[in-house]
Amino acid sequence: MNDPVENAKRLAAYQAVDNHVVDGVIGIGSGSTVVYAVERLAQRVKDEGLEVICVPSSFQAKQLIIQYGLKLGDLEMNPELKVTIDGADESDTMLTLIKGGGGCLTQEKILASCAEEFIVIADYRKASTNLGEQWRKGIPIEVIPGAYRVVYQKIEKLLGGKSELRMSGSSKAGPVVTDNGNFLLDWNFEGVKDWKHVENCLNMIPGVVENGLFVGMARKAYFGMSDGTVMERNI
């Protein structure tokens, strides 16, 4: 693989699966790096006879699990997970994450919260010292459609910054709709120091379903680097 970014994603995903997946129920996140995690998981099931049930965070993750012939589960039957492996749009040095660029943040946060271990996989472009250095699209916030205007006004009043309703591409008019049938706001923040306070503030606003700040949830992250190594961050 000649593409350094894709190679970095694969390196991080493979190392995480090799180091953290044992027999049991596994949460499968969403996004491009997770594709490689599922690829490696399927290899290990075939080669080692690993016994896993995979719980997806999104329609995309469900399709991946089916495509690779892995056992599909859900949280109703499997509410406790050994590990959840997922990507991130950005991570700071404390493993505070921004997630939800792909719109699956609510299910992703639920899966992360159900796991004994929440492991992040990403390429080198996602590793920052402080949030906002690399990811410039803001904090994704899933909102009830009828409340989006009220919510973004309250966010700006409470926390400053600017919020925008995420719109679909040119081929489809109108807002992006999540797997839950909701809208997404992207909040561009300014000078935040206390991310836990921000996370709590956002989730206290009526009409907010969930936000894309993952504070104190990840315990380890693997970042594939451009030179073919993998950088690890631990909390």
Look at residue 77 and tell me whether its pLDDT is greater than 90: yes
pLDDT of residue 1: 57
The mean pLDDT of 94-105, rounded to a whole number, is: 97
Asked if residue 84 lies in contact with residue 29, where contact means CB atoms within 8 angstroms, the answer is: yes
Contact 201, 159 (CB under 8 A): yes
CA distance 117 to 84: 6
Contact 27, 115 (CB under 8 A): yes
Give counts: helices (H), strands (E), the chain.
Answer: 6, 14
What is the Cα–Cα distance from 166 to 116, expressed in whole angstroms? 33
Say which amino acid occupies 37.
Answer: A
Q: Which residues of 220-231 are buried (b: 16+ CB within 10 A; e: fewer)?
A: bbbbbbeeeebe
Tokens of 58: 């999104």
* The domain defined by 4-127+215-234 carries CATH number 3.50.50.60: no
CATH value of 139-211 in 1.10.3720.10, 3.30.830.10, 3.30.70.260, 3.90.1150.10: 3.30.70.260
Tokens of 79: 């509410």
Check residue 190 and give its pLDDT: 85
Q: With 80 as the cut, is the pLDDT of residue 229 above it? A: yes
Residue 182 in this model has a pLDDT that exceeds 60: yes
What is the Cα gyration radius of the chain? 17
Question: Per-domain residue ranges for the chain?
Answer: 4-127+215-234, 139-211
> CB neighbours (10 Å) of residue 42?
20
How far is the C-alpha of 65 from the C-alpha of 63, rounded, in Å? 5
Confidence label for 50 from pLDDT (cuts 50, 70 and 90):
very high
Query: What pLDDT, on the 0 to 100 scale, is given for residue 80?
Result: 97
Q: What is the tens place of the pLDDT at every residue in 13-29?
A: 999 999 999 999 999 99
Q: What gap in Å lies between CA 14 and CA 30, rounded to an integer?
A: 15
The average pLDDT across 81-98 equals 98
Catalytic one of 90, 108, 199, 210: 108
User: Quick count: other Cβ atoms within 10 Å of Cβ 16?
Assistant: 25
| Whole-number pLDDT of residue 148 | 97
Average per-residue pLDDT for the chain? 96
pLDDT of residue 172: 72
- Residue 24 CA to residue 52 CA, distance in Å, equals 5
CA nearest neighbour of 54 among 30, 38, 34: 38
At residue 171, the pLDDT reads: 72
Residue-wise pLDDT tens digits, 113-163: 999 999 999 999 999 999 999 999 999 999 999 999 999 999 999 999 999
Residue 115's pLDDT is 98
Provide the terminal-to-terminal Cα distance of the chain, rounded to the nearest Å: 31
108 in active site: yes
